[in-house]
Amino acid sequence: MMERDTSGYGRITVGLHWLTAALVIVLWLIGEFVEDLLAKGPLRSAIWSVHFGLGFLFTAVLVALLVWRQTKGRKLPVGDPGPLHRLAKTTHAALYVLLTVIVGLGIANAFVRGVSLFGVVSLPQLGDKALRRPLTHWHGLMANLLMVVALFHTTAALMHHYLWQDSVLRRMLPARS
């Protein structure tokens, strides 16, 4: 039985972190596989609409996470302030930068294409349509790079938990009573 954990990041940071992880994985799976798995048609368009809708939702989550971490989000003491801590900080910064770039390219792409959401609302088509190819290319490339960095980040979190058996992963989990 674990005692009540009051040393964690707190409900809002933990909630936003796991919402980020879940949305990012779903967005990546859709972006990466929908064209390969589905023929052109209404189902494929609907799944792209899910990508765009969740993409806009995720944009709000990312802004909330960034603002929260810079303002009231709890700062926790550093366990070991050596090179591994600097590596962790650099990884977190890389995750934030990649997420921001991917969202920026995704939104620009959505407007350049004037995409439709479930055939109900369409975004206004803005800018040069020829940009859709490079925007999609860079959005996809950055999304794949994000997955590599996130895998490294996940491996590190699991090593803390199972190998070094410290509290680093536990403090990003919902507090248990």
Residues in contact with ligand HEM by the rule CB under 6 A: 17, 20-21, 24-25, 27-28, 31-32, 48, 51-52, 55-56, 58-59, 69, 88, 92, 95-96, 99, 102-103, 106-107, 109-110, 113, 115, 136, 139-140, 143, 150, 153-154, 157-158, 168-169, 171-172
Is there a contact between 134 and 107 (Cβ–Cβ < 8 Å)? no
CB of 83 to ligand HEM, least distance (A): 14
CB of 4 to ligand HEM, least distance (A): 19
Alpha helices in 71-166 (DSSP H): 83-113, 132-162
Using a 10 angstrom Cβ sphere, with 0-12 exposed, 13-18 middle and 19 or more buried, the burial of residue 48 is buried
Q: Can you tell me the distance from the alpha carbon of 32 to that of 53, in angstroms, rounded to the nearest whole number?
A: 16
Quick one: 107 or 131, whose CB is closer to ligand HEM?
Answer: 107
Q: Is 29 left (phi over 0), alpha (psi -120 to 50) or beta?
A: alpha
CB of 138 to ligand HEM, least distance (A): 9
Is there a contact between 71 and 115 (Cβ–Cβ < 8 Å)? no
CB of 6 to ligand HEM, least distance (A): 15
Quick one: 1 or 92, whose CB is closer to ligand HEM?
Answer: 92
